[in-house]
Amino acid sequence: MHLQLHYHNDLELSVVMYVCLCNAVTDKEIAQAVSDGANNLSSVQNTTGAATGCGSCKRTTEILIDQCLAEKLIDAA
Ligand code: FES
């Protein structure tokens, strides 16, 4: 996996991780898809294109979706 560093105006550092190299989909794009309502692998695949190529990122994508859904539930509580 590749890491990409972004520097913002306020010098805050954030790290973007490419989850799907076939389609250049980052963890932040998957998190945004879940935030926008995607709640399973199929809907994230349709929204972002992640895990629609070689499939090697499928399990990582599923884990990330589960983590995002759990955070969403915690935020809603
Ligand atoms: S790395 Fe995601 S489909 Fe190939």
Distance from the CA of 9 to the center of ligand 1, in angstroms?
A: 32
Atom number of ligand 1 nearest to Cα 55: 3
Look at residue 29 in the predicted model and tell me its pLDDT: 97
- Residue 6: its pLDDT value, please? 54
Helices 58-76 & 41-48, crossing angle to 10 degrees? 100
CATH number (domain holding residue 60): 1.10.10.1100
Give the pLDDT band (50/70/90) at residue 54.
very high
Residue 13 has which token pair? 């550092």
Which of 2, 44, 57 for a ligand 1 pocket mutation test, highest count of atoms within 8 Å of Cβ?
57
Helix (H, G, I), strand (E, B) or coil at 20: strand
Going from the Cα of 27 to the center of ligand 1, the distance in angstroms, rounded, reads: 13
Q: What is the pLDDT of residue 10?
A: 58
State residue 6 phi and psi, 5-degree precision.
-120, 130
Q: Which residue has the higher pLDDT, 41 or 9?
A: 41
Could you tell me the pLDDT band of residue 13, with boundaries at 50, 70 and 90?
low
* Ligand 1 pocket mutation pick from 42, 56, 60 by most atoms within 8 angstroms of CB: 56
Q: Domain of 28? A: 18-76
> Is 54 inside a domain boundary?
yes
Instruction: Give the total number of structural domains in the chain.
Output: 1
